[in-house]
Amino acid sequence: MKLYYAPGACSLASHLSLIEAGLPFSLDKTDVRNKKTSTGEDFFALTGGKGYVPALQLDDGTVLCEGVAILQYIADQAPAAGLAPANGTLPRYQLQEWLNYIATEVHKNYGPLFNPAATPEMKEAAKANLAKRFDWLAEKLTGHDFLMGTQFTVADAYLAVVLGWTRVVGINLAGTHPVLGAYQARVMGRPAAQAAMKAEGLLG
């Protein structure tokens, strides 16, 4: 398998999950602005007109897109790693609930903060929306190591990565939501997360 990624982007969740799963894979650092892979391939065409990371090229050449789909695919290739509950069980649907919440309510609310065309008012509104989501997440995580209790899953990989973006956009997560700050540090302190960040050049 080959993971197309951009350093520190949401593809970092797929990267660290591949390591957690113990699966063999290669990396392709992708220029998402110019839609080119590291070898000069047209990334826009490779992803069927999407042009954003993550993308996972399977051994048969199929390219899988969308982070929440990729994360579940990775988990299902290594069930013994416990990165997702078994398909067809209620906990699996609860995992999907978490993944969808992170994608639509947390990840997407960062949009204006990374958009140079966004006005100051738009950025403040985005921060207010994120604060409400952070309030809810902090309540759910109080007294729990991970989103689904004691077991680390791909949902934790995704949430910890997007929570890490608070440092880039000027939100003091440890100050405003210490439960989330501690959670993010705990997840990203795992050996797989450290290895992924080092591979992406995110650690000094």
The confidence score (pLDDT) of residue 91 equals 98
191 cis-preceded (ω within 30 degrees of 0): no
DSSP 31: B
Helices (H) and strands (E) in the chain, counts: 10, 4
Instruction: With 0.75 as the threshold, say if the pTM is over it.
Output: yes
DSSP 147: T
The one-digit pLDDT tens for each residue of the chain (204 residues) are 999 999 999 999 999 999 999 999 999 999 999 999 999 999 999 999 999 999 999 999 999 999 999 999 999 999 999 999 999 999 999 999 999 999 999 999 999 999 999 999 999 999 999 999 999 999 999 999 999 999 999 999 999 999 999 999 999 999 999 999 999 999 999 999 999 999 999 986
- Rg (C-alpha) for the chain, rounded Å, is 17
Domains of the chain and CATH, by start: 2-81+192-199 (3.40.30.10), 90-190 (1.20.1050.10)
The confidence score (pLDDT) of residue 66 equals 98
The confidence score (pLDDT) of residue 203 equals 87
DSSP structure string for 39-65: TS-BHHHHTTT---S-EEE-TTS-EEE
